[in-house]
Amino acid sequence: MDSAVQRFLDYLMVEKGLAGNSIAAYGRDLAQFVEFVKSKEVNSPGELNAGIAASYVESLSRNGFARTTMARKISALRTFAKFLVRDGIVGEDFTSNLESSRPPSRLPATLTVQEVELLLSQPDCATPIGLRDRAMLETLYASGLRVSELIGLKTDDVNLGVGFLRCLGKGSKERVVPVGQVAADFIKRYLTEARGSLAKAKQSEFLFLSYQGAPLSRVMFWKIIKKHAASTGIRKRLTPHTLRHSFATHLLEGGADLRAIQEMLGHASIATTEIYTHVSKDRLYEVYELAHPRA
């Protein structure tokens, strides 16, 4: 079993080109499955069948895993089973009868334009850290980047003259995204007024740096946005992804084409982007109820 899983992970890396974090997540989920089947004295892929797969899913449910976690683990098992069939290791897909345990669709949290402006105005641009924070928040809202893409930006990735930046998304896929004039102006100010003092004479290719001159981590950025969100008085739960969701929703409400939004967000499927049409409809209902005399 262990060698079959390793072959599968190698396949994900070499042939599918998945990112290291994604491969590691598959490895963790399948390690749990292997541990389960070994407890049932199943030691080779050829012994796997639909009954064992169903028992595994039942064990996940008994152990109290959240529906989102169960859905991910089942998806990993399905992908593994298809690989085994493809390579002729097993004769048939032993997961074909499993229920997907798809979690209920949840609409992403978004901010209004006024709330975004309030959040962006919180950093103190008179300090290098504050100017860096403002530039980061402006960039996130202007481009819809994921946090990992934002903190991974290099100085060479940003072309402020043309108004575009280049980022590396999921699966190491590169895309070019426009960045607005306001965000570009704050990035320029950060580069000329703040980055040098943060770098502390260290050489770094990364655009946004910590006060020690090192690249920022996801946890660091989470603390940054949490700090500034606390100052706004906004009661909504804000996360680093909130600005990405707000970016997409405001574009859609402004009349942007869904395919263009998909391209800017780096979604592999238009179905992922379509969730923002539901958010936009909710916003239309809010406007209707507030504005119509018979609402």
Which pLDDT tens digit goes with each residue over 15-44? 888 888 889 999 999 999 999 999 999 889
Burial of 237 (0-12, 13-18, 19+ CB in 10 A): exposed
The residue from 78, 170, 189, 283 that is catalytic is 170
Compute the distance between CA of residue 146 and CA of residue 58 in angstroms, rounded to an integer: 34
The residue from 73, 146, 195, 245 that is catalytic is 146
Return the domain boundaries, the chain. 2-86, 113-291
Tell me what pLDDT residue 257 has.
82
CATH of domain 113-291: 1.10.443.10
Choose which CATH entry (1.20.1070, 1.10.150, 2.40.50, 3.90.550) describes domain 2-86.
1.10.150
Whether 38 is catalytic is no
pLDDT tier, 189 (very low <50, low <70, confident <90, very high otherwise) = very high
Whether 267 is catalytic is yes
Among 11-25, 54-68, 73-87, 88-102, the minimum mean pLDDT is found in 88-102
What amino acid occupies position 292? H
The answer to whether 2-86 and 113-291 have equal CATH topology is no
Tell me what pLDDT residue 102 has.
56
Tell me what pLDDT residue 47 has.
92
Whether 170 is catalytic is yes
Tell me what pLDDT residue 295 has.
47
165 backbone dihedrals φ, ψ, rounded to 5°? -135, 155
Whether 146 is catalytic is yes
**Residues 251-291: tens digit of each pLDDT:** 888 888 888 888 888 887 777 777 776 666 565 556 556 66
pLDDT reading at 219 higher than 60? yes
- Percentage of residues in the chain with pLDDT exceeding 90? 49
What amino acid occupies position 40? K
The residue from 78, 175, 267, 283 that is catalytic is 267
Tell me what pLDDT residue 224 has.
93
Whether 241 is catalytic is yes
Whether 245 is catalytic is no
DSSP assignments along the chain, one per residue: -HHHHHHHHHHHHHTS---HHHHHHHHHHHHHHHHHHHHTT--SGGG--HHHHHHHHHHHHHTT--HHHHHHHHHHHHHHHHHHHHTTSSSS-TTTT----PPPP-PPP---HHHHHHHHT-S-TTSHHHHHHHHHHHHHHHH---HHHHHT-BGGGEETTTTEEEEE-GGG-EEEEE--HHHHHHHHHHHHHTHHHHHTT----BSSB-TTSSBP-HHHHHHHHHHHHHHH---S---HHHHHHHHHHHHHHTT--HHHHHHHHT-SSHHHHTHHHHHHHHHHHHHHHHH-TT-
Among 36-45, 145-154, 175-184, 263-272, the minimum mean pLDDT is found in 263-272
Q: How many CB atoms within 10 Å of residue 170?
A: 15
